[in-house]
Chain A
Amino acid sequence: MSAADARRAANGQETSGLRAKARLALARRDLLEFIRDRRTLFVTLLLPMAMYPILALSSALGVRTALSDIDSRTAPTNLVIVFTGSQRDAQALATRLGGLQKPEEARSKHDWPASVSFGFGSAEEARAAVEAGQADLWIDVPEQVLDQLDGNGTISIEARGPDTKVLPPRVREQFVAVTRGLADDARRRRTDRAGLPESMLDPIDVRFTGKMDPPGTISTRGILPTAAGGVFVLLAVLTMTGAFYPAIDAIAGEKERGTIETLLIAPCAAIDIVAGKFLAVWAVALATLVANVVSIALTTAVSLRFLPEGGKLLPEGHLPIVVGVSLLAFIGLSAIAAAMCLAVTTASKSGKEAQNTLTPVLLMASALAGAGLVIDLGRNTLLPAVPFAGQVALARATLEPDERPAVLPSVPTEGPTQSRPAGLPDRVAATGLIERLALPLAVSLISSAVIVWLMLQVTANLLTDEEILFRGPDVAGNLWSRPGRRRRPSVAQGFTALAIGLAGLWYAQGIAPADFALAIPVQQAAAVVLPLVLLMAWQRVDLRRTFGLRWPEAAAGGRRGVVGRTAASVSGAVLIGGGLFVLGAAVLLAVRGTHVSAEAKTLAEKLIGMMRDKPVWLSWALIALLPAIGEELLFRGWVQSALVGAWPSRGRMVAGVVVQAACFAIFHLLPERMPQTFALGLVAGMLTVATRSLLPAIACHAAHNSMPLVMLWLVGGLSKGADSDSAAVVQAAAAGVNLPAWAVIAALASVATGAAMLWLAVRGRAEAGLGCLRAAGFSAVCTIGLASLGCGFEAGRVVAAEPGAAVPAAVPQRLRVAVAPLASAVEWDGDQPTGVVIDIWRDLEKRLGTETDFVRVDTFKRLLETLNSGEADVALGPFAITEERERIFDLTHPIIHSGLRIAVRQRDESGFLSALRSLFSWQLLQLLGTVLLLALASGHLLWWFEHRGNPESFPPQYPRGMWEAIWWIASTVVAGGCDNKHVASGLGRTIAFAWMVGGIMLLAAFTSVLTATLTAEQVAGNIHGPKDLAGRTVGCQEAAVTVKEVRRRGGISREFSKLNEALDALRRDELDAVVGENQQMMFLLNQSGRESLNLVGPIFEAFDCGFGLPNGSPLREPLNTAILRMREDGTMDRIREQWLGRHD
C-alpha cells in the first residue's frame, strides 16, 4: 500500500488495530532508547542482582555467628568442684555425685554438664583454685553428709564461687541440675527406706503426642516472615526505582530534548502516546522485578543451606510457590509504579522538577509498602487492593505455611489458630496456600489494573496541557508575593489543601487530650478550616465560582424560578442524604454484621456521648450542620473546583468528582466508614456539578449526618435518664438499630424521590419553578405515604403478634380453674361463677388463648387442696401474697391491691350551706351588734356636724338625714367611700376618717372570724385517715384483724357479725367510721342505698392478692405476662371500676 493509500485509509475512523500499532511503535521506540542507555541499565538491573548475594551472605554469616554465640553460651561445659572438709565424707559425696545418671526426661540437654570432676583439699587450696579458674566451685562438705542425705532432714550446701570475677550463669545452671539429680536420688532412697513405692513422688506422668519440634531446638520459624518481609519491601522499592529513570527519560527527557512535540503532532490520541510510553516503562520495571526476584530466589535457596535448620524453615517445593505468587503480585506493583512515575513526570516541566517530585512520591510509596508488613490479610478481603502495601502483604503471606495470622512474634495473636493434623504432607499445605491466596491475588491484580488505568487517563490529560508544555517554570518575583487572582484553585492547590488538612487532623488528634469533649469539632476545624484559611490567604480565587456560592442553577440557565428550584433541589438533597445513610448502614450491616473495630466503637461512643450530654440543637449543630458546611466547602468547593477545572470535558468532570470522593473517603480514616463516605462524596460532588451550587450538597450532607441523631432518638438513647450503659447503645447505634426491611425500602424510595426532584430542578425549564414545587410536594407525599405504609405493615405485624407473642407453647388448650365464693370477688350465679375476679380471669383466658373448666369448691382450704392434688391448674382465690403462702404454692403477680380502709358518712349539706350555718354563731352576732351600735352613734354625730353646712349629702330632716348618714358609713366601711356624698366639715371628716380606718379593721376581723369558724368546724368534725381514729367510735367485722388495728390506733371498736351491718349503723350515724378490707368495702359501698357513705384516707396495712398455681407451674410466666399487660393497658382498672365503682 502506498503512502497515499495508507493516508486515505487512515483518514477514516481510527481502527483499534491502528491504535495498537501506534502504541507498540511508540513503546518500541522508547525501549530502544532505554536499552541503549547502558549505564542506567546497569544500575537498574545488574547492580541489584549482585546485591542480594552479598546481602544474603552477610546476613547468613550474621545469623550463623549469632547462633553459634548462643550455642557457646548454652553448650554444656565441664564442671569442676572442689570439696573441702572431712575427707571421707567428701569422697563419699563425690562418689554419689559421680554415680548420678543424666536424666532422660524433658530437661534440656544443655543443663547437665558435659562432665563433673572433683577435687579435694583444704579451704585455702579450694579458694585459690576457684579464684585461679582451675575449679568452678568449692563446697565445704558437712559432717556425715550422706547419712543426713539418706535421713529425713534437709542438708544445706553452700557452693562458693570466685570473689574476684563473675561466676558464669552456665556454671550455676549446671550445678543446680546436678544437685537436683542428687536430690532425686536421695528422694528415691528415702522412699525405698520407708518402704514406699517410687511412684509416690511422681503422681503425674505427662506425654505429648503429635508433630512437635524436638525439645531444645530454637524455633526460628517466627523469624522468617519478619526477615523476609524486609526483603519484599526492598523488592518493592527496587521495582519502583526500575520505573523511576525510564519514566523520567520518557517524558521529561523528551521535553528537554524537544522531541515531545514530534509525538504530539503524530496522529495519535494522547492516551495512545501515554499507553505506548507506559508499556516501555513497565517493560523496564518488569525486567527489574524479574531480575531481582530471580536473584532473591537463588540467594534464598543457597542461603537456606547455610542456615542451621534452614531446611525446616521452608519446606521443599514451597520456594517456587513463594516466588510465583510474589512475582504475580509484584507485576501489579510494577505496573502501578510505572504508571505513577509516568504521571508525575508528565506533570513536571523539566527533568529536574520531575526528579524532585518523584523522590518524595517514591518515599511515600515505600512507606506504604512497609506498611504491608503488618497487614493481616485474613482480616479484610479488600486490603490487597491497596497499592504497594497489599502486594507486600500478599508476598509475605506466602511464607506462612500454617493459617496463623501473620503478626510479629512478640504480639499475642488474636485470631483462631488452626493447626493441621500431624503427618500431612507439605504438598497439601502448598495447595492450601494457593487456595488461600488466590482471591487476594485476584483482588490485588484487579485493583492494580484499575489504578493503572486511572493514572494513564490522568497522564493523558496532563500530557497535552499547554501550561506544562510551553510555559516555563513559575517564577516568583518576590518570595512572598502572592500569586495572581484566579478563577479557581489549581490542581496542585487542591491537593495542598488536602495535605494541610490531613496534617492538621493528625496533629489535632495527637495533641488533644483523649477525653476532650469538643475533640471532634476541633478536629474538624483543624482538618477543614485551617487549610482553607491558609490557602485562601495565599491564593485569591473567585469565591463564587470556587465554592459554588450561588443558588442552584438549572442546566438551561436563567434566574427565573430560583425559589422553586432551590426548594426542590434542597429538599431533594435532604431526602437523598437521609436515605443514603440508611442504605449505607444496611449495606454495612449486611457485609460486616455487628462486628465493629475498636476505633469505630470509640468514635461511636464519643459521638453518642456528645449527643447525649448536650441540648439537641447544639448536638445537631456540632454533628450535622457544622461538619456539613465545613467539609462541603473544602471538598466539593475547593478540591473539586481545583480538580474539575475551568472548561472540563466530561471525562475530566467525572474524574474530578471520583478523585474528590476518594480523598473525602480517605480523610475519614476509619475503613468501616470509607465506602459510605465515598458514596456520599460522589453524590454531593454530582449535586454540586449539576446545580453549580454548594447548597444542595450541604443539605444532603447535613441530612446524612443527622441520621444518627434521629436513630438515637428512636432508640430512646437521647434522654439523659436513658440507659447509661453506652456499650449497648453503641452496639445498637453501630448496628443501625436493627434495620427492618421497611426502613431500607423507605430509604430507597427517599433516594429515588430526591433524585427525581433534583432532576426536575436542574433539567426543568426556568419557568417550571412552580412545577418543581408541585413535583416536590407530590414526591414528598409519595415518600411519606410509602414510609407510612411500611410503618403500618410493620406495626400491624408487631401488634398481630402481640397476644401470641406472650404465649409459649406450654399453655394447654383447656385449663381447670378452682373457684371458691368470696364476698365481693366471686359469687356463684347458678352454675357459672361471676364477680370481678371472674371477669379478670375471662380476660386473661382470652389473652392466653385457652378455655376454662371451672371447679367449684366451698372453702378456701379446699382451694389449696385442689392445687396440691392436681385437680386444678389455677386457683382463683384471690390469695393474699404472704411469705408462708409462697412456700406452699406459687402466686402470680398481684391482681388486687388490698388492705384496710375507712368509710365515713358523707355530710348532706354542701359547703356553702354549712358555712352559712356557721355564720350564726354567737361570737359573730356579738360582733355585728357592736358594729351596728357604733354605726348608729357615729351616724348621729355625723349628721349633727354636717346637716347644717352640707344639706345635699346629709339632709337636715332627721329620719332622712340619719338614713343617709348610715348609708355613708356603710359605704365607707366596705368600699372606702361614698359616691354621691361628701363630708365638708372638719369634725365630720374626723369621724369619717376614723370609720375608714376602722372599717378596714372591721372587715379583717369579720373575715378572720368567719374563716376560723369554718376551719374549726372542719377540724373538729372529720376523719381523714387512720390517725384520726383516735377517740372515735369505729365499727368493724368481729374477729377480723381490723379490730386489733382499730384498737391499736386508739379507736373505740364496735363489732358486728357482718360488715353490712356495720355500714348500716354508720348510715344511721351511730358510728363515726367503719374500718374493713378495701375490696369488700368498695363492693358493699357500690351497692344501692349506700351513696351517703364514702371511703376516705389511704389503704393501710396493705397487702396484695394474686392467683394461686401449683409450685413450679409452667403457667406462671405466661399468666404473669398477661396480668402485667392487663395492668398496663388499663383493662384491669376498667373491670374493677365496673364492679367496684370509683372510690377516689
Chain B
Amino acid sequence: MIEVINLVKHYRASDGSVVRAVDGVSLSVAPGEMVGLLGANGAGKTTTLRVLATLLKPTSGTARVGGCDVVTDPLGARRHLGYVSATTGVPDRLTAREIMRSYGRLHGLDEEPLTRRIALIVQSLGLADFIDRPAGRLSSGQRQRASLARALVHDPPALVLDEPTNALDVVGARDLLHLFDGLRADGRAILLSTHRLHEIERRCDRFVIIDGGRIVAQGTPSEILGPHGSLEEAFFAALAAGAAS
C-alpha cells in the first residue's frame, strides 16, 4: 500500500550548502501492517513522511501510496492517504463535526454518505462527548483524536502518522495507540513515526530505524531487538553501527 523506493530529498540551506535530509530510503508497508519509523530528531523521518503526504517533492526516487506516485498523481495519492502530524492542528472556531464535514466535502463526498461516515467515526473513535464543541476548547488529547477523525473521513486505506503522540500525556497516548490497533485490524496500512520507543515496542509489525537520512536497520521486532534487552538499546546499537559504516 505504501512504497518508498530510493527516496532522496535535498534542499539548499540559507548559507548555500546542500542539506541531505533523506538520502536513499526504501521501505514498504502492506495493508494491515503497522510499521514504526524510528530515529532521532532531524534524522529524516518527517521529511520522508511529508514526501509521502505529497507536501514535499522528492529530489529523486519514488514514493507510492495505493499505487499512485506522489509526483505524477498526487491527487490520487492523497485520496488513499490519511495524514496526521504532530504539528497538525485544528481550526479553533469550528467544531469537530464541522471540520470533518468540510474535509469530507473537500474530498468530494456527498452529504448522505458523509453523515453516515461521520457517525461511524464518532462512534469508533469515541468523540461523542466533544463532537460539537469548538475545537479550540478541546484538550490536547481530544484535539489529536479530532485530527485523526478528520484524517479518516474519506476512509483511506493508508495512514501516515508523524509523531502523533507528541503532545499527549500517558493516558491520551495509550488511547490513541489503541485506536491505531483498531485501524490496523480494519486492514489499513499504517506508517507511524515516533521517538517514544517504549510506546510502540510491542505494537508494530516492523521497525525501520533512520539516521542521517539513511536506513540503518529494519526488520521485525525480534530481528531488531536481537541480543539487546530493550528497543532503546537496540536503537542506539543500530545508530552506532550505522555511524560506523
Q: Which residues of A does B touch, CB under 8 Å? A: 1-7, 9-11, 14, 18, 21-22, 24-26, 28-29, 32-33, 36-37, 254, 257-259, 261-269, 466, 469-471, 474-475, 483-486
Contacts and interface: CB of A to CB of B under 8 A. Distances in A.
A36 B95 CA distance: 11
A466 B11 contact: yes
Interface string B198-224: 000000000000000000000000000
Given A6-B109, A25-B105, A28-B102, A484 B11 contact: no
A470 B106 contact: no
A514 B116 CA distance: 77
A492 to B, nearest CB: 13
Nearest to A5: B113
A3 B154 contact: yes
B35 to A, nearest CB: 19
Contacts of A486: 16
Interface string B64-93: 000000000001101101010101111111
B51 to A, nearest CB: 11
Nearest to A273: B106
A388 B17 CA distance: 43
A2 B113 contact: yes
Q: Considering residues B53, B78, B91, which has the most beta carbons from chain A within 10 angstroms of its beta carbon? A: B91
A11 B108 CA distance: 11
Nearest to B82: A265
B181 interface: no
Given A22-B108, A267-B75, A37 B53 contact: no
B129 to A, nearest CB: 21
Given A7-B79, A265-B81, A469-B55, A1 B91 contact: no
A265 B14 contact: no
B88 A26 contact: no
B89 to A, nearest CB: 3
B56 interface: yes
A33 B14 CA distance: 35
B213 to A, nearest CB: 16
Contacts of B110: 1, 6
A10 B94 contact: no
Question: Which 4 pairs between the two chains have the least Cβ-Cβ distance?
Answer: A484-B16, A258-B89, A25-B105, A29-B102
A266 B53 contact: no
Interface string B99-113: 000110111111011
A6 B109 CA distance: 6
B91 A6 contact: no
B54 interface: yes
B88 A258 contact: yes
A257 B92 contact: yes
B232 interface: no
Nearest to A7: B79
Given A32-B94, A470-B50, A1 B105 contact: no
A262 B113 CA distance: 21
Nearest to B74: A267
For A10, A29, A262, A269, the residue with the greatest tally of chain B CB atoms inside 10 Å of its CB is A262
Contacts of A22: 105-106, 108
A262 B16 contact: no
Nearest to B52: A265
18 contacts: A3-B154, A3-B155, A6-B107, A7-B155, A11-B76, A22-B105, A32-B93, A257-B92, A259-B88, A261-B88, A262-B103, A266-B103, A268-B75, A466-B55, A470-B56, A471-B11, A483-B14, A484-B13
B56 A25 contact: no
B98 A29 contact: yes
Interface string B106-143: 11111011000100000000000000001000000000
A22 B57 CA distance: 23
Given A11-B79, A36-B93, A261-B85, A6 B106 contact: no
B150 interface: yes
A268 to B, nearest CB: 6
A159 B57 CA distance: 96
Contacts of A474: 14
Given A25-B106, A258-B87, A37 B93 contact: yes
Contacts of B113: 1-3, 5-6
Contact of B78 (A21, A267, A466): A267
Nearest to B89: A258
Contacts, number: 124
A4 B108 CA distance: 12
A477 to B, nearest CB: 8
A397 B150 CA distance: 52
Contacts of B85: 258, 261
B91 A267 contact: no
Interface string B11-22: 101111100000
A261 B147 CA distance: 11
Contact of B14 (A10, A267, A484): A484
B108 A267 contact: yes
Nearest to B150: A262
A1 B117 CA distance: 11
A343 B105 CA distance: 25
B79 A257 contact: no
A466 B10 CA distance: 12
A304 to B, nearest CB: 42
A267 B79 contact: yes
A6 B108 contact: yes
A26 B56 contact: no
B94 A266 contact: no
Contacts of A265: 53-55, 78, 81, 83
Contact of B109 (A3, A36, A259): A3
Contacts of B88: 258-259, 261-262
A474 B75 CA distance: 31
Nearest to A481: B15
Nearest to B136: A257
Nearest to B110: A1
A257 B105 contact: no
Contacts of B107: 6, 10, 266-267
B187 to A, nearest CB: 13
Given A466-B56, A469-B55, A484-B14, 5 more contacts: A1-B113, A11-B76, A18-B108, A259-B91, A484-B15
Contacts of A5: 113
A809 B98 CA distance: 90
Interface in B1-54: 11, 13-17, 50, 53-54
B91 A29 contact: yes
Given A14-B75, A267-B107, A29 B55 contact: no
B98 A32 contact: yes
A264 B93 CA distance: 20
A5 B117 CA distance: 13
Contacts of B87: 258, 261
A261 B53 contact: yes
Which of B54, B88, B107, B150 counts the most chain A CB atoms within 10 A?
Answer: B107
Nearest to B68: A11
A687 B220 CA distance: 58
Interface string B147-169: 10010001100000000000000
Most buried by A among B14, B15, B56: B14
Contacts of B106: 22, 25-26, 263, 266-268
A259 B50 CA distance: 14
Nearest to B53: A265
A806 B170 CA distance: 108
Contacts of A28: 102, 105
Nearest to B155: A3
Given A7-B155, A29-B102, A261 B83 contact: yes
Tell which of B16, B57, B102, B134 has the most Cβ of chain A within 10 Å. B102
A484 B105 CA distance: 44
Contacts of B81: 265
A62 B43 CA distance: 70
Nearest to B106: A266
A266 B78 contact: yes
Contacts of B13: 484
Nearest to B16: A484
